[in-house]
Amino acid sequence: MELMGINLWSVLVAAVATMVVGFVWYSPLLFARPWTVLMGYDPNDKAKMDEMRKGAGKNYALVLVASLVSAFVLAKVIDITTVNSAVYGMKVGFAMWLGFVTTVQLTGVLFAKQPAKLYLINTGYQLVCYLAMGAILAVWPR
């Protein structure tokens, strides 16, 4: 199954991989507590935490759509540049992250006056995602 020369199964797998990374990244194993505090929530306030979780299903669906778009665009870049190894796919993913993701997120953080630590947690997550997507998309059979 292809669209514009891109294997859509590879895009789906890459997008799902970002969701898995997100579940781990923002879990209690890694950054759940500091992220929650930096976002202005009290992790000990059960009512507020329940309210935050209430709309999570819709948000996850929208995040999956965004991940599919990102994976598709990255797949096209990898296809055009004829990258065919995980390491080079990760390099392309890193370049996309550095040139687009970090700059857009930094602008948002600066104007929203958010803490630098929040920026580092969120952009670090995106880095891992773009590296993973780059590796997956580069080695997936075309």
DSSP state of 140: S
Pair of tokens at residue 32: 């759940």
- To the nearest 10°, the Cα dihedral for 105, 107, 112, 114? 60
Tell me the DSSP string of 54-95: HTHHHHHHHHHHHHHHHHHHHHHHHHHTT--SHHHHHHHHHH
Q: In whole angstroms, give the CA distance from residue 116 to residue 38.
A: 10
pTM of the model as a whole? 0.92
Pair of tokens at residue 73: 């665009």
* Confidence band of 42 (pLDDT split at 50, 70, 90): confident
Please state, rounded to an integer, the average pLDDT across all residues of the chain.
Answer: 94
* Confidence band of 92 (pLDDT split at 50, 70, 90): very high
* Ranges of each domain in the chain: 2-139
Is the pLDDT score of 111 beyond 80? Answer: yes
* Confidence band of 55 (pLDDT split at 50, 70, 90): confident
- Name the percent of the chain lying above pLDDT 70: 100
DSSP state of 99: I
